[in-house]
Amino acid sequence: MKYEHEITIAAPLAEVVRLFNAPEYEKHWRPEPISAEHVSGTPRQPGAKTRMKYRMRNREFDMVETILSKTSQEFSATYEADNMVNTIRHSFSPLATDRTLYKTEVDYTFKSLMPKIMSVVMPGFFKKQTYRYMKTFKDFAESAVKK
């Protein structure tokens, strides 16, 4: 299942990218992670692997993040769990000196029947979750820039 979302952030590109790439701010816009343990590679660089524990709707699960690419305006990674692999590409482009376009491209591959059924019956669940993270990041970035 593939989809994309875009959202405009009222903040300069350099500031948006700085906030997105700073691990100490993730808790402000990605609240479900419980823990993260570096497994291999140079942290936060292409090839790095991190084992992450998440809580979502009273359910805990583990994922392994593998960073695929990281540039000044893009971050791509795969997130592998028992039943799925999720590849996400986040990109940022200037719209004006004080506006940034944040785009996310998502590709889910499911390894078992139940998630495949959910993706067909309830594709909106996955799309809404992605957009919710983007909106939460937008709100965080805009408030951080105003301070």
pLDDT 10s digits, 1-18: 899 999 999 999 999 999
Structural domain including 26 reads: 2-146
Task: Write out the H or E segment, with its range, that includes residue 58.
Answer: none
Distances (CA, A) of 26 to 107, 110, 111: 22, 26, 28
Question: What span, in angstroms and rounded, lies between the C-alpha atoms of 106 and 126?
Answer: 10
Domain CATH number, residue 121: 3.30.530.20
- The stretch 93-103 carries a mean pLDDT of 96
Q: What is the dihedral of CA 47, 50, 56, 60, to 10 degrees?
A: 140
Provide the strand spans (E) within the chain: 2-9, 33-40, 49-56, 59-70, 74-80, 84-96, 99-110
pLDDT in tens, 108-133: 888 766 655 665 666 677 788 899 99
- What values do phi and psi take at 7, rounded to 5? -150, 145
Tokens of 43: 């942290």
Domains in the chain, number: 1
Predicted TM-score (pTM) of the model is 0.87
pLDDT in tens, 45-74: 999 999 998 877 777 889 999 999 999 899
Question: What span, in angstroms and rounded, lies between the C-alpha atoms of 75 and 45?
Answer: 10
